Structure 1
């Protein structure tokens, strides 16, 4: 007989651990354990019963889960491997037959009784979408802020703050404890007007005293910088005690200084480490009035930081001339399919004026992209007579430098000049993605002179357009595109159009031709593209009184026209709004015109019959074989599980282990013990016995419904020779493939029913399983099946807390709770009694000691 060492200690059911017996010398705890042994034994037995019942539930679920999985995979309408569907076995692999140069343009799926008679004689035209192509948009030079004056005057600013750090921490005596480092970032995360995540760049070179508008609020540039820094601070993750640092302190720009102030009602012991690299740029003065360094061994408190600041305008940026700033800086220039980084001014370059610098840059562009493909314009302006143009101040007019297409470039080529560095773009006065054509990264407002090019009343038209966009929005096909304003980027506008399913068009911009194109989302004739107000201006499609487009090019979509023969010598022209259409059960797709289809004067359609396409069909032998093979494998696994549970006898010498027993065993020993203890829990169970008998009768039932066992043998499906295995099915893959190849309809009849077979194998198995386990209670008298009612299943959430074993376990838990309460009550009573006894004994000992002194 199997056994484990040691009897289960009754202490396993109690927390009894006391210190009684000091006066009496009695082992109180051991005696109480013996006195409560009856209740403790009942608790142990109750726990073992609950464990065994839980294991029994798992055994039921091991069977029912396999049954439900089999139904999901092979009998469900939602499954792509549903063996109840005749289409699974049908000749549904369609091949287009004919000239290989033509058949590659025709594909088909499905099945049709007319397959042998159908042919496609030709495709006169394909279905197409309606398209609206705008007129070419305007072009312009890419202007910069490189002027004659900027070469010598230090007016350009670069940040001394971005990338620097403030180190926060606390001091305890001489010990510094870091709380976190705030690095002044280039950007922070925020939400746009539609609630979408965006990245906002921080302008560290902003004019501190200039008035700026933020979300309709006017403030100074310094206040905007403080606001942006506070948003970045809130995303830093630095803590001040239990609070985020941004809940305790904030940047405040006041009186020309950037201060760090504690928020109202908050306190903090955080200090700034004196080694922080951002202190100087923030204007902190580390020296006393006499020029000596301040003592900051214990860090700089916020009050000390605020009291010792210079004006921020004197410290936050480095001011340079354009020459100084440009030295070593690079611009990213794209032209003719090439993108290169061009260093405008190199260390050691010498030039007397803007014209000299212009020549230097022109030389570098010629070397990078070829002579006169990109022109550097600007510098001294010359008149028609070849002499410099004199301005009103009596000096020659010197224009800022700009970039444009050179004399060797074609007019439709695209030139872009940009930089990933926002500071460089700001200094040079160029936008990100700046182009001689539309700048997709620039706003509609910034592109207005190209969207509505120069011409009669151009300025009035631009103003009218912006007003229309502001008041009416962007409307296409009667649908207003939400979120499009004058400040939306061109690419943002395109994206919003393309993600709006109701508008019915897709928008794109053709850089090569500098045009917008709108394409209807669906093909076919009658797909109008209606534009109103601002949308008509942007997409360049204005209709006159007759309804004709005066600007832009519109082409109505077309229906597909396919000439079909049904084998009766008569040709029929089929029209479809799509290039995919239904043809007598087939789903046909065409992708090219062919057949030289024409119509004579009498209305008869003619075509080149040598280009005709016919169809052949065969069953998906390999696919069906693989599906049936997997089905039988899963079916047999289910049968083996059922048979094992029903036929395995339990070993009474194994049962649930107590915690004390587990403490004396290795993990592997526990695993082996419980594996043995779980065996045979469903032995001779009435429900499982009935299920096993029903499953063994599946093929017999199939025979009763008209199937021939010889036919099953020919297709490789037979009952196992071992009568003890519970009714597994053997599968001969080679025979099954041969049957599917020669007669797929016979195979289909066996599985789905048909011909002489009233009910197929798939339905018989499903009907056999349903009374025991199903996800569809309405098919089984509003019951999920006997196994589910007994033990539930996680595959059917409603059954988890609505099954017999769950209810039994709940009642058993109630009994266990009562026993535990009884044990606690018994222990408390005995402890109280022992305590009283100990008190009396101590009193008696004291009296005895007192009397003993008189005897002495």
Structure 2
């Protein structure tokens, strides 16, 4: 008879039902324990298989919808996108197929597109249209911006201990990731208190974006940093949607924050003190580890300051006073600059202990000196952004305006759209630039680049550029013509660019603000002579692109009347249009056919009248690949039968391509018609190529309007592409803020966010949770029965052992 030890070691490797469990076989009892356990949990297995089949069906449906969404977006991108070369929704696509050539000795003075309904010639171009412009120097800003300050050698440099980053994940849950943002802190960012650090976190939250189901918004709408009564820095969730810190980098930052579990707030490890935030080192010690970069006319040399401090020149001449140290440093640095730039760049110490740099005096030469960070710049007295002989767009307004900044930034910003608001969203002191009646507000910490970007992105109607070669700002009105203007005002506008009132300027070109070298040039209208159907016309236009009865002519140069006229020859290249329309009809018909089949095809049933359900894991393991493939094709048939969304989409698409009224008649006249098949109830688009070619030769504008007309641009009704685009976007749009009907339902690989945020995925996730729950229940039952049978086997084995022992004692 077997011993207990042998029973314990006689385990069998069970099926996947038992996982990694070791189940003792019924050697002592004679029972098939594995079969008995499997039978006892058969109901659980059936429930799990049923749920898995439902989940597989949902996944198949999801894939079917996504396939249709992809086709819809492919059609949109190919035939309605302005980046596509086959954009049937664009007038220019049809215009490019009409080749118009200018003829005559002055043909190069124009370019033309389109086709005129009249006989047109250009007899003279007296003047081209020009935009108003204004250029102004920047010496008044460079003088202040390039000022250097005394190097305070005896004063320590404060550096940040918390250079690094905090990574936050907002929203999401156990199964989904939320929106992730990273708040980075540089070595220049020195905080003297917990409150300053909290303010800095809030400023960075304002710049970061969090994406939720309602769209993308500033992170400060959801999260806020503050300091609690104990001095800890707290990041709080304002919406109670939960967030967590997923990563902290930087030695100092890691001492303050740590990764957290998902919750409504995160708190620093301990109260935050200045000693946790700031390190203080001697100025020379700090600078020895730094590098400065000297750029002359695009050529950059890097100079390690350790080499300067270790040079004999510095060591032998640097004495105890700050002035002597500045002079020794300047002398040693000058030797290095002389060798690097052949004497073109020089530096010396001013009487106040600051550094004075000089470069070539020739016009257009630019010299910049800066460290790797503003902390280095400030330690050397170069100021924020470093030193430069020309204006740098990275300089702040406070830097370029100097002492006068305090008197300019006096207004309180409002929260109106476009107004400046500081990082803490409190009323900030600002100054105003007014251009052509548009008021823009800026804070003293805004940079010149910020000013330029905001002006260029506003409704002021001007473009502002800056050239470091000329050292000038250049304003140009966005529209040409005599009515174009550039008026500049506001306290900040006047300080930066000078005041400009175009109504007070009499000459075509005049000096304005001579103290800062401002020059204003008025705009001009185009003046030309044309003959239209035999009638001579002297014409004036504000733009150089003019319409002459359908012919679009761009004027490029001038010539006098009496020289050879410019005439035009137009030919039509219809092949590209015809080929594109043919491809469109094929792609459209493929899409509507699949849509129609999807909602009108009934599910298949087997010989017993049962639906084909997805195969279970056991069934898959027992059948061949060919059988599985054939079976799944049947099981996937009719998945979307009766879907009302697909039916409505099909109806809308059909209506889009068989427009009524004028557009409908135009479509039929150019060879596009809808054909209905009584055999399957399918309506498809048909093209008569001969009609299309004939229409392109006789009336190309009619063809163009039939495709491109849109009520949004003033047409009485939509053409074929406008209606089609509107319908396809309604159902297949992939934007996060307003996804299409089918995208909401099933998601799409074209939008990663939608993959986890759609109706079917929610159902799949719910089924997965049910499956997990039932698998846990089955696992618990298997553990229960396994333990019971194991105890039984061991008990029977013990009884058998005792029986054998008694039998031996009694002599067998």
Q: TM-score range by the shorter chain?
A: 0.5 to 0.7
CA distance in structure 2 between the partners assigned to 1:134 and 1:112 by the alignment: 44
Give the match for residue 533 of structure 1. 491
Matched, 1:248 2:188: no
- Measure how far apart 1:575 and its partner are: 0.9
Matched, 1:594 2:594: no
CA distance in structure 1 between the partners assigned to 2:92 and 2:99 by the alignment: 13
Give the match for residue 719 of structure 1. none
Give the match for residue 565 of structure 1. 531
CA distance in structure 1 between the partners assigned to 2:80 and 2:89 by the alignment: 9
- Measure how far apart 1:608 and its partner are: 4.6
Q: Superposed, which structure 2 residues align to 1:817-828 within 5 Å?
A: none
Q: Superposed, which structure 2 residues align to 1:101-140 within 5 Å?
A: 102-103=107-108, 105-108=110-113, 111-114=114-117, 117-134=119-136, 137-138=139-140
**What's the secondary structure of 1:123's corresponding residue?**
strand
CA-to-aligned-CA distance 1:744-769 (integer Å, 9 cap, x gap):
45999999999xxxxxxxx9x99xx9
- Measure how far apart 1:333 and its partner are: 4.5
CA distance in structure 2 between the partners assigned to 1:260 and 1:748 by the alignment: 75
Instruction: Give 5+ residue unaligned stretches, structure 1.
Output: 1-8, 167-182, 199-230, 254-258, 262-281, 283-311, 380-396, 450-461, 597-606, 716-722, 755-762, 778-787, 846-856
Rate the CA distance shift 1:589–1:249 in 2: closer, same or farther, 3 A.
farther
Matched, 1:484 2:435: no
Give the match for residue 564 of structure 2. 610
Residue of structure 2 aligned with 1:318, choices 249, 266, 285: 285
- Measure how far apart 1:77 and its partner are: 10
- Measure how far apart 1:535 and its partner are: 1.6
Give the match for residue 397 of structure 2. 444
CA-to-aligned-CA distance 1:222-258 (integer Å, 9 cap, x gap):
xxxxxxxxx99698456887669982246645xxxxx
Task: Report if aligned partners of 2:695, 2:703 keep a CA contact under 8 Å in 1.
Answer: no
Task: Report if aligned partners of 2:160, 2:187 keep a CA contact under 8 Å in 1.
Answer: yes
CA distance in structure 2 between the partners assigned to 1:544 and 1:801 by the alignment: 57
Residue of structure 2 aligned with 1:498, choices 449, 456, 462: 456
Residue of structure 2 aligned with 1:420, choices 358, 363, 371: 371
**What's the secondary structure of 2:132's corresponding residue?**
strand
CA distance in structure 2 between the partners assigned to 1:512 and 1:753 by the alignment: 49
Matched, 1:467 2:418: no
Task: Report if aligned partners of 2:311, 2:332 keep a CA contact under 8 Å in 1.
Answer: no
Task: Report if aligned partners of 2:159, 2:188 keep a CA contact under 8 Å in 1.
Answer: no
Rate the CA distance shift 1:677–1:55 in 2: closer, same or farther, 3 A.
farther
- Measure how far apart 1:144 and its partner are: 5.9
Rate the CA distance shift 1:124–1:751 in 2: closer, same or farther, 3 A.
closer
- Measure how far apart 1:476 and its partner are: 1.2
- Measure how far apart 1:675 and its partner are: 1.6
Rate the CA distance shift 1:514–1:50 in 2: closer, same or farther, 3 A.
closer
CA-to-aligned-CA distance 1:196-216 (integer Å, 9 cap, x gap):
659xxxxxxxxxxxxxxxxxx
**What's the secondary structure of 2:296's corresponding residue?**
strand
Residue of structure 1 aligned with 2:630, choices 660, 667, 676: 676
Task: Report if aligned partners of 2:355, 2:381 keep a CA contact under 8 Å in 1.
Answer: no
Give the match for residue 420 of structure 2. none
Task: Report if aligned partners of 1:648, 1:679 keep a CA contact under 8 Å in 2.
Answer: no
CA distance in structure 2 between the partners assigned to 1:341 and 1:684 by the alignment: 70
Give the match for residue 102 of structure 2. 97
Give the match for residue 554 of structure 1. 520
Give the match for residue 297 of structure 1. none
Q: Superposed, which structure 2 residues align to 1:64-103 within 5 Å?
A: 81=86, 92-99=97-104, 102-103=107-108
- Measure how far apart 1:488 and its partner are: 3.7
Give the match for residue 621 of structure 1. 575
Bigger-Rg structure (1/2): 1
CA distance in structure 1 between the partners assigned to 2:60 and 2:149 by the alignment: 83
Rate the CA distance shift 1:425–1:593 in 2: closer, same or farther, 3 A.
same
Q: Superposed, which structure 2 residues align to 1:217-616 within 5 Å?
A: 236-237=253-254, 247-249=268-270, 252-253=273-274, 259=275, 318=285, 332-334=294-296, 339-340=300-301, 347-349=311-313, 402-404=356-358, 409-410=361-362, 412-421=363-372, 422=374, 425-431=377-383, 432-448=385-401, 463=404, 466-471=406-411, 473-477=431-435, 478-485=437-444, 487-499=445-457, 501-526=458-483, 527-541=485-499, 549=512, 551=514, 552-576=518-542, 578-590=543-555, 592-596=556-560, 607-610=561-564, 612-616=566-570
Task: Report if aligned partners of 2:148, 2:356 keep a CA contact under 8 Å in 1.
Answer: yes
CA distance in structure 2 between the partners assigned to 1:420 and 1:557 by the alignment: 44
CA distance in structure 2 between the partners assigned to 1:48 and 1:329 by the alignment: 64
CA-to-aligned-CA distance 1:160-191 (integer Å, 9 cap, x gap):
9889999xxxxxxxxxxxxxxxx997345957
Instruction: Give 5+ residue unaligned stretches, structure 2.
Output: 1-13, 165-183, 191-199, 209-247, 318-323, 412-429, 507-511, 659-663, 673-678, 707-717, 732-741, 801-812
Of 649-658 and 537-546, deviating more is 649-658
CA-to-aligned-CA distance 1:459-500 (integer Å, 9 cap, x gap):
xxx75x752443471221343322332x4443443333333x
Give the match for residue 619 of structure 2. 661
- Measure how far apart 1:676 and its partner are: 0.7
CA distance in structure 1 between the partners assigned to 2:701 and 2:356 by the alignment: 79
- Measure how far apart 1:418 and its partner are: 0.9
Task: Report if aligned partners of 1:12, 1:660 keep a CA contact under 8 Å in 2.
Answer: no
CA-to-aligned-CA distance 1:21-66 (integer Å, 9 cap, x gap):
99997668857977998x8999799779969977996898699669
Rate the CA distance shift 1:581–1:466 in 2: closer, same or farther, 3 A.
farther
Task: Report if aligned partners of 1:476, 1:531 keep a CA contact under 8 Å in 2.
Answer: yes
- Measure how far apart 1:534 and its partner are: 3.4
Rate the CA distance shift 1:739–1:368 in 2: closer, same or farther, 3 A.
farther
Task: Report if aligned partners of 1:13, 1:44 keep a CA contact under 8 Å in 2.
Answer: no
- Measure how far apart 1:573 and its partner are: 0.8
**What's the secondary structure of 1:593's corresponding residue?**
coil
Task: Report if aligned partners of 1:251, 1:260 keep a CA contact under 8 Å in 2.
Answer: yes
CA distance in structure 2 between the partners assigned to 1:566 and 1:490 by the alignment: 50
CA distance in structure 2 between the partners assigned to 1:729 and 1:426 by the alignment: 71
Rate the CA distance shift 1:648–1:123 in 2: closer, same or farther, 3 A.
farther
CA distance in structure 1 between the partners assigned to 2:701 and 2:473 by the alignment: 58
TM-score, scaled relative to structure 2: 0.52
Task: Report if aligned partners of 2:75, 2:588 keep a CA contact under 8 Å in 1.
Answer: no
Rate the CA distance shift 1:776–1:429 in 2: closer, same or farther, 3 A.
closer
Rate the CA distance shift 1:240–1:342 in 2: closer, same or farther, 3 A.
closer
**What's the secondary structure of 2:133's corresponding residue?**
strand
Rate the CA distance shift 1:61–1:12 in 2: closer, same or farther, 3 A.
farther
**What's the secondary structure of 1:419's corresponding residue?**
strand
